[in-house]
Structure 1
Amino acid sequence: MGLALDRWNQLMKAWQAQDFDAISDMYGPDSVYSEPYNPPHHGNLLTVSYLKDFLGSKSQLEIKTKRVLEDEAEARVAAEWSISYTAAGRRWNDLPRASFIDVDDDGRITYHRDYT
Structure 2
Amino acid sequence: MDNIAKTLQGDHKSCRNNIRAIHDALDVIGGKWKISIIACLTFNAMRYSELLKEVEGISGKMLSRELKELEANQLITREVLSTHPIMVRYALTPYGKSLQPLTLTIAQWGINHRKRIISGFK
Q: Same fold (TM over 0.5)?
A: no
Q: Comparing both structures, which one devotes a greater share of its residues to helix?
A: 2
Query: Taking CA–CA contacts closer than 8 Å with sequence separation of 6 or more, which of the two structures ends up with the larger relative contact order?
Result: 1
Q: Comparing both structures, which one devotes a greater share of its residues to strand?
A: 1
